[in-house]
Amino acid sequence: MGYAAPAKWFHWITVALMLVALPAGFVIGHIREADKMSSYAIHESAGLTIFLVSLARLAFRISHPPPEAAHQPRLFRIAATTVHHALYAALIAQPVLGFLATNAFGFPMQGATAYLGFIDLPRFMDANVPLAEALLNAHRWLGWTIAALLVLHVSAVVFHQAIRRDGTLERMI
């Protein structure tokens, strides 16, 4: 039995957004100053959209539990549940940390970095560089954690598709 169509859409929209947000986040520090604002705008808009999609996705998942994977060994089910829960938590916490860090640096999503390029979000705190740096460090750490979780997730997909050939991938396509 496969996932419901909305669950599939949420999944693949999240994948597409992460293919934008993660690489942009990893290279922003290496981009020349003249191009940074557009890179921040792309990264922050993708991140905030991931946050919104993840909240909707979580609400859908709570009201529509995923299909049973009873044919999988118990250890596989535990591992999958752990990685999925960690990804949900990280995909919600990560944009919050980034948004708070940006505000604490004194750069709310306005003007050149407005959400989606045209939606100014209000500034809600005064600049606080020590707080901003702590939040940014947490944001970076969580970014690498998300990357590691994605490697685990994709590795499991490859394992199930190429080695076990048990139809796990087809449940999400």
**Domains, the chain, with CATH or none:** 5-172 (1.20.950.20)
Average pLDDT over residues 99-124: 91
Residue 19's nearest CA partner among 107, 146, 162, 128 is 146
Token readout for 63 is: 């009201």
Average the pLDDT over 51-63 and give the result. 97
Q: Taking residues 145-153, report their average pLDDT.
A: 96
Distance CA 10, CA 35 (A): 31
For 38, the enclosing helix (H) or strand (E) is helix 33-63
Per-residue pLDDT band for 157 (boundaries 50, 70, 90) equals very high
Q: What is the DSSP string of 69-137?
A: -TTS-HHHHHHHHHHHHHHHHHHHHHHHHHHHHHHHTT--S-GGG-BTTTBPPPP-S---HHHHHHHHH
Question: What does the pLDDT average to over 94-115?
Answer: 92
Query: Where residue 169 falls among pLDDT bands split at 50, 70, 90?
Result: confident
Q: Give 170's DSSP letter.
A: G
Instruction: Give the chain's end-to-end CA distance (angstroms, integer).
Output: 12
Q: Which residue has the tokens 């947000």?
A: 21
d(CA 118, CA 32): 23
CB-CB contact of 110 with 120 (8 Å): yes
pLDDT at 170: 85
Please determine, for residue 61, whether its predicted confidence score (pLDDT) is greater than 90: yes
pLDDT at 148: 97
Give the global pTM. Answer: 0.91
Retrieve residue 142's tokens: 């969580």
List beta partners, residue 119. 115
CA distance 153 to 81: 11
Give the residue-averaged pLDDT of 129-138. 97
pLDDT of 7 higher than 80: yes
Q: How many C-beta atoms surround the C-beta of residue 73 within 10 A?
A: 9
